[in-house]
Amino acid sequence: MSLFLSIHQAPGISEEEVAAYGPEVAKGVHATFRHLFANSDSGYIATVYEADSEDAVRAEFERVGFPVDTVTEIDVEFDAAQLNQATA
């Protein structure tokens, strides 16, 4: 399984509207949700999913009924501790 970053533009979407997708997102039929970052003012949403392929992530968004602009596979990942250790 790989990690994928998806970008969405949903101007004017509220926190409540995003949360309303929660029950369907939790089912994780094609891809498994890991994290969401959003700015409700601009409508910018970034999500991280675990899946076998980009197509699986796109299929998950289609199933949930939420539009996605881009899906990119993540092939390098550092948390803060790893980044600090790598630069020490």
Catalogue all structural domains in the chain, each as residue range(s) with its CATH number.
Answer: 2-87 (3.30.70.3090)
Q: What is the pLDDT of residues 4-61, one digit of tens each?
A: 999 999 888 888 888 899 999 999 999 999 999 999 888 899 999 999 999 999 999 9
Q: Which helix (H) or strand (E) holds 13?
A: none
Cα 24 to Cα 6: distance, rounded to the nearest angstrom? 17
Task: Tell me what pLDDT residue 88 has.
Answer: 67
Q: What is the pTM of this model?
A: 0.88
Task: Tell me what pLDDT residue 83 has.
Answer: 84
Residue scoring higher pLDDT (68 or 12): 68
State the DSSP code for 82.
Answer: H
| Nearest alpha-carbon partner for 5 in 39, 31, 40, 27 | 31
Q: What is the mean pLDDT of residues 69-85?
A: 91
Instruction: Give strand pairing partners of 4.
Output: 49, 73
